Chains A and B, each alone.
Chain A
Amino acid sequence: MSLLEIKQLSKSFGGVRATDAVTLSVQENDLLGLIGPNGAGKTTLLKLITGTIKPDAGRIFLKGEDITALPGHRRARAGVIMTHQIVRPFRGMTLQGNVMAATPADLFARPLGAMLRRPDAESEAQAQGLLDRLGIADAAQRKAPEVPLGYLKRLQIARALAARPKILLLDEPLAGLNHAEARKIADLIRQLHDEKLTIVLIEHNLNEVLRVSRRLAVLDNGRLLAEGDPKETIRRADVRAAYLGGKAEAG
């Protein structure tokens, strides 16, 4: 059974069809690269999956269960976790605090329970472990605005992992990183996949997407243009026209 299934999903913004009848499924332990030219509707699609925006039509299923009407925070608790292209840490918190912030969601559905319990050494150690895994443990006690972008990009992933995702949606995790850094993060994404995490990866860095993805889906003008093995899919003429030659065609 697919972990995530999207059926005929559509969303328009003021007459522009950002997502146009997209049907796509993500298998358990998949690493799906999602590419397409700017404005193809990649981020919109992820936001529809997380519930940040509501679709005009279509359905979304998580493990066979219809989650189309489920509010965003409930989907997050069910394991649908996204990181954003533009980093958004809690600016007033330390990096460790940022990661810890992702742990309480399922524990504290009720505010009273949250009022009576304090963050303990265990949750601190857990956060520290994730920071360590992402290679940013040295800055654990520094506030988010004090660290460079590369750290914040990693922090986003650490925070997302702390939320215990069943499916991790990454929106351009490599954007703004230099070549070596991007490669390291891409390696880490692949490693998470090897540990059985299901991942959808939006990325403009084609080299890295093709290197780490198991499958590739191409969006163009809100429509799913192609889907399949990464290397075969990228060679298709229509994909090359839309994605690589998009500008030439438009001109």
Chain B
Amino acid sequence: MDGYLISLATFTAINVGLALSLNLISGFCGQISLGHAAFFGTGAYASALLSVNGSPFVLSLLAGGLAAAILGLIVGLASLRVREDFLAITTMGVSFLFIGFVRKQEWLGGEVGISSIPKPLSDEGMAILAFALAAAIGLLLWQIRRSWMGRIFDMIAQDEDAALSLGIDTARYKLAAFVLGTAAAGLMGVVYAHLVQLIVPDAFDFIVSVTILAMVVVGGVGSIWGVVAGALLLTLLPEMVRFVNDYKLLIYGSLMIAVMLASPGGLAGVAAKLLKRGG
């Protein structure tokens, strides 16, 4: 198979996994995050550091997920004190802090990042790994959606005070959402780092956070299939249409505004409406 297509497929799977992991935090549990790339980056950096020092890939993979989850827990704990717009600002701060920190760290390669990260699998193997992880995250979300946890997330997203007044320990559930969602983002970061073999701080900047958020918003906040579609669209469109790639931010931004104004349910909302009309 064409090397370009394989790599495109792998990047697409990584983006699907990232978008789904953010959907768990922001879509299911209603905790807006503008700093998701920081967790993606934490997974990438932690695993890269281990792998260039001779750690077996499986260990790097687990460590990447764990490191992201730990940062997620810390941000989650901080987020318990703030809500909604304040949470958006806080998580945006996390995104900037991450880049600011990594850039200045000699042991993380500073501006030039970490290079010569060993690739553990063939190109096809990496693609399969990325797909398997994205699918696993999708399955996790599917299970959560059908469980009591999904209902409780939904309660928190809709009216946190009401959930509290019914006896729900909302803090604990919000932390659970942060830990699960950030661990998943960390795993995708591991795949990314070992695929491109060279990571630099800018690969995890605020623009990346916003791009992941755009996939969730365009796909439909809280919808599993919608967010998968959103990630596919925003990954493949710039690849297929040169013009989109040149004006990526302009187009993502316009898309988000258009969705908010015209169909807050995103692609999933549009699909639901069409199905209803058809039925």
Please tell me if the beta carbons of B164 and A76 are within 8 angstroms of each other in the complex: yes
Known: A52-B165, A76-B165, A93-B154. A118 touches B148 (CB 8 A): yes
Q: Is B170 an interface residue (CB 8 A)?
A: yes
Q: Which of B167, B168, B170 has the most chain A CB within a 10 Å cutoff?
A: B167
Q: Report the count of interface residues on A (CB-CB < 8 A).
A: 35
Q: Which residues on B sit within 8 Å (CB–CB) of A100? A: 151
Q: Which of A72, A82, A163 has the most chain B CB within a 10 Å cutoff?
A: A72
Q: Is B176 an interface residue (CB 8 A)?
A: yes
Kindly state the separation between the CA atoms of A100 and B176 in the bound complex, as whole angstroms.
21
Task: Give the Cβ gap from B81 to chain A, nearest Cβ, in Å.
Answer: 14
Q: Is B146 an interface residue (CB 8 A)?
A: yes
The residue of chain A having its C-beta at the shortest distance from the C-beta of B162 within the complex is A88
Q: Is A237 an interface residue (CB 8 A)?
A: no
Please tell me if the beta carbons of B166 and A92 are within 8 angstroms of each other in the complex: no
Kindly state the separation between the CA atoms of A50 and B162 in the bound complex, as whole angstroms.
12
Known: A76-B166, A76-B167, A101-B166. A92 touches B158 (CB 8 A): yes
Mask: chain A, 63-85; 1 = CB below 8 Å from B; 0 = not? 00000000011101100011000
Please tell me if the beta carbons of A105 and B167 are within 8 angstroms of each other in the complex: yes
Interface of chain A, main secondary structure:
loop
Within 8 A of A (CB), among B135-193: 143-144, 146-149, 151-152, 154-155, 158-159, 161-170, 172-173, 176
Known: A91-B158, A92-B158, A111-B173. A104 touches B151 (CB 8 A): yes
Please tell me if the beta carbons of A163 and B166 are within 8 angstroms of each other in the complex: yes
Q: Is A149 an interface residue (CB 8 A)?
A: no
Please tell me if the beta carbons of B176 and A111 are within 8 angstroms of each other in the complex: yes
Q: Which residues on B sit within 8 Å (CB–CB) of A179? A: none
Please tell me if the beta carbons of A52 and B161 are within 8 angstroms of each other in the complex: yes
Q: Which residues on B sit within 8 Å (CB–CB) of A105? A: 166-168
Please tell me if the beta carbons of A50 and B165 are within 8 angstroms of each other in the complex: yes
Please tell me if the beta carbons of B148 and A108 are within 8 angstroms of each other in the complex: yes
Please tell me if the beta carbons of A115 and B149 are within 8 angstroms of each other in the complex: yes
Q: Which residues on A sit within 8 Å (CB–CB) of B158? A: 90-93
Q: Which residues on A sit within 8 Å (CB–CB) of B173? A: 111, 114
Question: A-B pairs with the 9 shortest C-beta distances?
Answer: A105-B167, A76-B167, A111-B176, A114-B149, A77-B167, A114-B148, A115-B149, A90-B158, A73-B164
| Known A73-B168, A93-B158, A117-B147; 6 more pairs at CB < 8 Å | A52-B165, A90-B162, A104-B168, A108-B148, A118-B147, A163-B167
26 residue pairs bridging A and B, Cβ less than 8 Å apart = A52-B161, A52-B165, A72-B164, A73-B166, A73-B168, A74-B167, A76-B164, A88-B161, A91-B158, A92-B158, A101-B163, A104-B151, A104-B152, A104-B168, A105-B167, A108-B149, A112-B176, A114-B148, A114-B149, A115-B144, A115-B147, A115-B148, A117-B147, A118-B146, A119-B151, A163-B166
